[in-house]
Amino acid sequence: MDALLDQLGLSELRRLKPRQMLAQILNFGLILATAFMMWKGLSVVADSPSPIVVVLSGSMEPAFQRGDLLFLWNRNLELNYAGPTPAPGSTFGGTKVGEIVVYNVKGKDIPIVHRVMRRHKGAKTPLNLLTKGDNNYADDTELYPRNQFYLDREEEVIGSVVGYVPFVGYVTILLSEHPWAKSALLGIMGLLVILQRE
Residue 103, classified by CB atoms within 10 Å of its CB into exposed (0-12), middle (13-18) or buried (19+), is: buried
3 or 8, CB closer to other proteins?
A: 8
When binding is defined by CB under 8 A, the residue of 122, 147, 177, 180 that contacts other proteins is: 122
The answer to the question of residue 185 lying near other proteins (CB under 8 A) is no
Residues in contact with 165: Cβ distance below 8 Å, sequence separation at least 6, in sequence order: 68, 69, 71
How many residues touch other proteins under the rule CB under 8 A: the total is: 30
The answer to the question of residue 103 lying near other proteins (CB under 8 A) is no
User: Which of 105, 100, 133, 131 lies closest to 118, judged by CA?
Assistant: 131
User: Which of 99, 70, 100 lies closest to 166, judged by CA?
Assistant: 70
- Give the DSSP H/E element, type plus range, for residue 100: strand 100-103
Binding mask 57-96 for other proteins (x = CB under 8 A): -----xx--------------------------------x
Point out the residues that are catalytic: 59, 114, 140
Shortest approach of other proteins to residue 1 CB, angstroms?
25
The answer to the question of residue 125 lying near other proteins (CB under 8 A) is yes
Distance CA 48, CA 58 (A): 23
Binding mask 149-178 for other proteins (x = CB under 8 A): xx----------xxxxxx------------
